A and B are shown apart, each in its own frame.
Chain A
Amino acid sequence: MSTLPLDMQILNAIAALFLLLAFAMLSQRRVVTLVKLLALQAALLCAATLLLAWRTGETHLYVSALLTLLLKVLFLPWLLNRLIRQLGVYWDNESLLQISGTMLVGVLLVIFSFGLAQPIVALASTATRSGIGIAIAVVLLSFLTMITRRKAMSQVVGFLSMENGLFFGAMSATYGMPMIVELGVALDVLVAMLVLGVFFFQIRERFDSLDLHHLESLREDK
């Protein structure tokens, strides 16, 4: 029953796949696959930006797509894979809740985000406004990923996925953010990654493991 033009339908399809990837990351136990899913998510983001750029003709969106491609699809996953090899973390089997419980909470978060987005969709003026609900859902799901994971690497992937979701939301709502803001955020993410990499080595030296519950032993009352 859809009467949207073809490129809008493709954009909707990309949005749906975006959501699916966020769910897949929620239940994925292998860290290498997590990074691959993150790269795929960033690739989808790049494709959506390109499509939007082609549709609206705004040049800053082309630059933004190029930045996304270089930084999030190529560089960051390469950096993460290098970290994984050096630290030796390949599996993240334990999580806070059972997989089915996590998925159920995920579905409830999705309902919440979609419900939240419905009045916004009615008011916004861009053509891609239905992507806002998906963006909010992806942000919340990435947050959930960060909460339910034990290994630090998975939490970093969750953080990056949250950032992807925010970008997608910005793109759907206002056709991207001003260039200064995008460059600033990209620089922040890069610096954060480098600092986190250093931190991981320190944590591993201290505790011989990247399991975050060891950090609890740093409490005062011993």
Chain B
Amino acid sequence: MLLLASLLGLWVVIGFLGLIRPTSLRFVAHILFPLGAAVGVAIAAAAALSIGSPTEQWVLGVGLPDLPVHLRRDALASVFLFLLGAASAGISLFGAGYFRRGEGTLPGLLCLQYHLFLASMGAVLLADDAYSFMVAWESMALTSYFLVTTQHRIPEIRQAGFLYLLIAHLGSIAILLSFGVMQGGSWQFTFDAMRAAELPPGWASAAFLLALLGFGAKAGLVPMHVWLPEAHPAAPSPVSALMSGVMLKTAIYGVLRVTFDLLEDPLWWWGLVAMSLGLFSALYGVVFAAAQTDMKRLLAFSSIENVGLLFTGFGLALIFQSAGMSAPAALALIAVLYHAVNHAFMKGLLFIGTGAVLHATGQRNLGRLGGLIHRMPWVAWPTLIGALAIAGLPPLNGFVSEWLLLQAFLSAHEVPRLFLNMLLPLGTAVVALAAALAGYVMVKFFGVVFLGQPREAALKDAHDAGWRERAGMIWLAAGCLLLGLLPNQAISLLARVPVQFGVLDPDATFGSWWLLDPVAGRQASYAPLVFLAIVSLCVVATIFAVTRIYRRRVRRGAPWDCGFARLDPRMQDTAEGFGQPIRHIFEPFFGMRRELPAPTDSAPHYHVEVSDRIWNGVYVPAAALVQRLALTVAVLQQGRISTYLVYSLVTLLVLLGFVL
């Protein structure tokens, strides 16, 4: 515990060290960022080793007069600290090679913001009372705002940052109110007091809903997701990776902490609300991802989808918990935690891959990329692993969490509540649909960016990534592989969390070290090492047999393309074209505006704009309403001094009348 807190403090120190020589890029990038990465590795190792240890608490001397800072490290915090440390190590290493001159902010300042961001995320995970939690949460929001608006001279980026900060603050207010409800009359804001407070079901539901709203706004749950597709593309790629991979997971941590730890006895409909929001977000996110033409927006929507899946698993665990079915609840909870860790690695890898592409080509638009696998193999192959992992293909890690979630859903029909046991299998169908669509989106992403022919002539000058960037990507890709091949080790660590919450039996086993067999009484097992071994064996045997027996050389020629002689790179699918079937099938989701060329146009021009119906239907009217209210209240501001003096006099008279 002391170790972890001091490592977090080390991050703060590294951040401030950046201010010593703020304009020196070499100092920041080549010394401080790798140092930060090393601290990340240390945090990950310390957290992983301490998952099984009993809970530790610590009260610092500082803080409010009657509320000093409480820190607490338990299994849940350790899991998320591992996630933070391991993912940020790879991303920081990448960032060491990534940041260049002319980013818009001084390198030293960037270093400060970055490491304070990391440290505040760690502080959120360790906080044990409402005050320190909110301080850490707000500093996380502020530092990430500054990181998002790194290139603050561009107006769109400033707007994206504003929207991000606005929704982050709305969420913080909801979280604060939730804490206020949870203290249950004792006026003690430590988490221990909240654990002990007995809330009547109405107030507990209010606290849950407020927490869901607040943490959901930070996580990007629909309908509070509108900041994600703006902020992620606006931020520099390592920051997007960190936000998508780690910051969204702190929101998941928050909602798990509040529901399973601070509130007792969940009601059945809490899980239903969470699950419905999660399923809708999953489908919404992936359908929109399939229609994007900007590669970072595509990944942002994919993050919305994965957050939806996390909330689905969370809702399922709540439903099982309220029905008293503890083994399926534990399975669902483990699936959520596993998916959170997986997603940090997968999405982090994909975002830093796009960062490398952006630096090499200067393009974010999918319609101007293509064929980069030849020029940038060191970026392309790890990104392929990340894309396959998110698509949920065995034997990588995305498949394991999907498998666990589906196995949890298989017990859903045993829930004793009336309509629920039939609605839950429908949830399985939606999860399967979202997973299949994720495969579609990843084929589009990887195929349009890296495969095919370059769509612009300038792409021939694209250069591959430097050694630091390669190291960061390989670290994350290796994480994807290991998490996929050794699920039993990971699960035996993650299982400490349900044990801590009292959901799981302490000596439940999940099979042997190479075989995952989580559900007692049902024959369902998965052994990824054996799987990979046999698949590789078949592939290698085939290669051997075919090339040895039929040893022929390979001749290179022009592509066949059914005999069309002139091949133009503009003949291949654009990103929009690849997403057209989804737009066609899921038309009700999209607000589309199209400009088609007329037959008589001398300069034909095609423009399609896919907009978010929720933005147009909910946020724009809400903003208009706020404007109108503000204008009404603005009447009070006359600008004349005599009016303000009248206000002061009236207030004084009222107060005197009150007192006397």
User: What residues of chain A have their CB less than 8 Å away from a CB belonging to chain B?
Assistant: 101, 107, 111-112, 114-115, 118-119
Q: Which residue of A lies closest to B587 (CB)?
A: A98
Number of A-B contacts (CB under 8 A): 13
B418 lies within 8 A of A112 (CB): no
User: What residues of chain B have their CB less than 8 Å away from a CB belonging to chain A?
Assistant: 418-419, 422-423, 426, 588
Q: Which residue of A lies closest to B429 (CB)?
A: A107
A111: chain B residues within 8 A (beta carbon): 419, 422-423, 426
A119 lies within 8 A of B418 (CB): yes
A115: chain B residues within 8 A (beta carbon): 418-419, 422
The answer for the CA separation of A111 and B423 in the assembled complex, in Å, is: 7
The answer for the CA separation of A118 and B426 in the assembled complex, in Å, is: 18
- Whole-angstrom distance between the Cβ of B433 and the nearest chain A Cβ: 12
Q: Would you list 11 pairs from A and B whose C-beta atoms are within 8 A, ordered by A residue? A: A101-B588, A107-B426, A111-B419, A111-B422, A111-B423, A111-B426, A114-B422, A115-B418, A115-B419, A118-B418, A119-B418
- Whole-angstrom distance between the Cβ of A217 and the nearest chain B Cβ: 30
Chain A binding surface, main DSSP class: helix
Q: Which residue of B lies closest to A114 (CB)?
A: B422
The answer for the CA separation of A114 and B426 in the assembled complex, in Å, is: 14
The answer for the CA separation of A111 and B418 in the assembled complex, in Å, is: 10
Q: Which residue of A lies closest to B423 (CB)?
A: A111
The answer for the CA separation of A62 and B422 in the assembled complex, in Å, is: 36
The answer for the CA separation of A121 and B349 in the assembled complex, in Å, is: 53
- Whole-angstrom distance between the Cβ of B583 and the nearest chain A Cβ: 15
A112: chain B residues within 8 A (beta carbon): 419
The answer for the CA separation of A118 and B416 in the assembled complex, in Å, is: 11
The answer for the CA separation of A114 and B425 in the assembled complex, in Å, is: 14
Q: Which residue of B lies closest to A111 (CB)?
A: B422
Q: Which residue of B lies closest to A118 (CB)?
A: B418
Task: Give 8 nearest A-B pairs by CB, closest first.
Answer: A115-B419, A111-B422, A115-B418, A114-B422, A115-B422, A118-B418, A111-B423, A111-B419
B423: chain A residues within 8 A (beta carbon): 111
- Whole-angstrom distance between the Cβ of A113 and the nearest chain B Cβ: 10
The answer for the CA separation of A91 and B75 in the assembled complex, in Å, is: 64
- Whole-angstrom distance between the Cβ of A117 and the nearest chain B Cβ: 10
The answer for the CA separation of A111 and B419 in the assembled complex, in Å, is: 7
The answer for the CA separation of A60 and B423 in the assembled complex, in Å, is: 40
- Whole-angstrom distance between the Cβ of B629 and the nearest chain A Cβ: 37
The answer for the CA separation of A115 and B418 in the assembled complex, in Å, is: 6
The answer for the CA separation of A107 and B423 in the assembled complex, in Å, is: 10
A107: chain B residues within 8 A (beta carbon): 426
The answer for the CA separation of A112 and B418 in the assembled complex, in Å, is: 10
A119: chain B residues within 8 A (beta carbon): 418
B422: chain A residues within 8 A (beta carbon): 111, 114-115
- Whole-angstrom distance between the Cβ of A97 and the nearest chain B Cβ: 10
The answer for the CA separation of A157 and B423 in the assembled complex, in Å, is: 30
The answer for the CA separation of A13 and B287 in the assembled complex, in Å, is: 38
B418: chain A residues within 8 A (beta carbon): 115, 118-119
The answer for the CA separation of A107 and B426 in the assembled complex, in Å, is: 10
A118: chain B residues within 8 A (beta carbon): 418
The answer for the CA separation of A119 and B419 in the assembled complex, in Å, is: 11
Q: Which residue of B lies closest to A100 (CB)?
A: B585
Q: Which residue of B lies closest to A115 (CB)?
A: B419
The answer for the CA separation of A153 and B422 in the assembled complex, in Å, is: 34
The answer for the CA separation of A114 and B418 in the assembled complex, in Å, is: 9
Given contacts A107-B426, A112-B419, 11 further A-B contacts (CB under 8 A): A101-B588, A111-B419, A111-B422, A111-B423, A111-B426, A114-B422, A115-B418, A115-B419, A115-B422, A118-B418, A119-B418
B588: chain A residues within 8 A (beta carbon): 101
- Whole-angstrom distance between the Cβ of B416 and the nearest chain A Cβ: 11
The answer for the CA separation of A107 and B422 in the assembled complex, in Å, is: 11
The answer for the CA separation of A103 and B608 in the assembled complex, in Å, is: 30
The answer for the CA separation of A206 and B426 in the assembled complex, in Å, is: 47
B426: chain A residues within 8 A (beta carbon): 107, 111
- Whole-angstrom distance between the Cβ of A133 and the nearest chain B Cβ: 10
The answer for the CA separation of A175 and B616 in the assembled complex, in Å, is: 56
The answer for the CA separation of A112 and B588 in the assembled complex, in Å, is: 24
The answer for the CA separation of A168 and B588 in the assembled complex, in Å, is: 37
Q: Which residue of B lies closest to A112 (CB)?
A: B419
- Whole-angstrom distance between the Cβ of A148 and the nearest chain B Cβ: 16
The answer for the CA separation of A115 and B423 in the assembled complex, in Å, is: 10
The answer for the CA separation of A118 and B417 in the assembled complex, in Å, is: 11
B419: chain A residues within 8 A (beta carbon): 111-112, 115
- Whole-angstrom distance between the Cβ of B544 and the nearest chain A Cβ: 47
A114: chain B residues within 8 A (beta carbon): 422
- Whole-angstrom distance between the Cβ of A115 and the nearest chain B Cβ: 4
The answer for the CA separation of A119 and B421 in the assembled complex, in Å, is: 13
The answer for the CA separation of A115 and B419 in the assembled complex, in Å, is: 5
The answer for the CA separation of A107 and B430 in the assembled complex, in Å, is: 14
The answer for the CA separation of A115 and B422 in the assembled complex, in Å, is: 7
Q: Which residue of B lies closest to A104 (CB)?
A: B426
A101: chain B residues within 8 A (beta carbon): 588
The answer for the CA separation of A119 and B423 in the assembled complex, in Å, is: 17
- Whole-angstrom distance between the Cβ of A85 and the nearest chain B Cβ: 38
- Whole-angstrom distance between the Cβ of B2 and the nearest chain A Cβ: 54
- Whole-angstrom distance between the Cβ of A143 and the nearest chain B Cβ: 19
The answer for the CA separation of A107 and B418 in the assembled complex, in Å, is: 16
The answer for the CA separation of A111 and B427 in the assembled complex, in Å, is: 13
- Whole-angstrom distance between the Cβ of B421 and the nearest chain A Cβ: 9
The answer for the CA separation of A73 and B374 in the assembled complex, in Å, is: 69
- Whole-angstrom distance between the Cβ of A47 and the nearest chain B Cβ: 28
Q: Which residue of A lies closest to B586 (CB)?
A: A100
